[in-house]
Amino acid sequence: MSECAKLSSLPYRWVILLIMWSTMCVALIAQFQVAALAYQIIPDFKLTSGQYGMVLTAPMLAGLFFSFPAGALADRWGVKRVVAVGFVFSIVGTFFRFSAENFLQLFILMFLAGICPGFLNANAPKLLGAWFSKAQMGMAMGIYFSATGVGMGIALATTALFPSTKSAFIAAGIAMLVIWLLWMLFIKAKPEGAPDLPVMPVTKYIGVAAGSKNVWLVGVALMFFMGSSMAFSGFLPNALHSEQGLRPAAAGFMASIVTFGTVVGSILGPVISRRTGKLRPFLALVAVLGAAAGILAWLAPQGIVMPALFALLGIMLGMCAPILMSFPMLLPEIGPVYAGSAGGIIGTLQVVGGVCIPSFIITPLAGQNYTLFFALGSLCFFLVSVVVLLLPELGAKSQAKVGADLAEAM
């Protein structure tokens, strides 16, 4: 039986994927509780627009600092150990946010809450690549990425229904603790009997990954992607409430349409791209359509058109991310040996986009002009289409051609 066939027949791989999915889902719920409660948190903590953006993106800032070393350390010591350490910090940060009394305390606790998802996101391609074949990587990454949409959607749609901010934060902390216990009990680094990957100095892993131009291109594409995604998902509820007069619960529900759209897109994207056989033109088209949907949705009048366009934006966002995130395992110069370090580089650039673009570029340029704000967010999504055209073609047709050429040569 081939290696691909063996991996495809392992039922335990779904346990691994479910726990990874649950980890990201709870982490995103915790992060976007802040977006859903912005109408309370901003006046209670007397936050400026810039400070609110920093609090919202603080979990991603943890990824900015730790994704790179987390990926390299996981190549050396294993994903399970590295992520388990990150869980400890995230449980503390998520649970004790209710005790924050000022901007700095809330920012620090949100930063701690983001350490575990930052560690996991950097190493997701490596862990999934150990359990899923290359043919299944897009599907596995799609399911994994759907957790972000579900987590954001649940947070935006339900957080305002909690009796208090404290109860919402405590519930998220307890959920994070439960997932940590499941991680410690059930996560395995690789299937039984699978060969161990070669052990090398950490600098060797980093050097090979950093020397790949394609790793940096994928990172830049995800940087623009996350800048656009955070601009809409993080700032849309408050914009709809303050600018268009929607009630907080209604604004949160409207924003959740985008995030639930990403769930649909993350499942459909890998399937459609595999059927087309071409990744680059597919990703470029998705980015262009998503950029157009984003700005048109904000400009549309309230009614059926606005939620339909927000749903389209979410679907396009969901289609794009898992395909880009699966690239480390698909790149021939990276593969499973260097996937952790490559994922760390990509994750770092991804977080740079999510943290810096909305808070330090779009917000200062747009100020309180939300039309300009979301236009710039859409521009970021459009730039993804430019970057992906510079990547090598790694779609199903390209891989099939390479396989046929090798067979013919032999």
Domains and CATH numbers, the chain: 16-189+201-409 (1.20.1250.20)
Q: How far apart are CA 182 and CA 22, in angstroms?
A: 10
Q: How far apart are CA 347 and CA 337, in angstroms?
A: 17
- Position 395 scores a pLDDT of 64
Using DSSP's 3-state secondary structure scheme, residue 212 falls into coil
Predicted structure pTM score: 0.77
Q: How far apart are CA 235 and CA 172, in angstroms?
A: 21
125: pLDDT strictly greater than 70: yes
- Position 352 scores a pLDDT of 87
- Position 113 scores a pLDDT of 94
Q: What is the dihedral angle through the alpha carbons of 248, 230, 54, 56, rounded to the nearest 10 degrees? A: 50
Who wins on pLDDT, 378 or 124? 378
Cβ atoms of 97 and 106 closer than 8 Å: yes
Strands (E), 172-311: none
Q: Where are the alpha helices (DSSP H) in 161-201?
A: 165-186
- Position 319 scores a pLDDT of 93
**Confidence tier at 88 by pLDDT (50, 70, 90):** very high
203: pLDDT strictly greater than 60: yes
Which tens digit of pLDDT belongs to each residue from 396-409?
A: 565 555 444 433 43
Which tens digit of pLDDT belongs to each residue from 224-273?
A: 999 999 888 778 888 888 888 778 778 877 887 887 898 899 889 888 98
Nearest by Cα to 379 from 232, 195, 187: 232
CA distances from 385 to 4, 32, 142, 247 (A): 31, 27, 19, 35
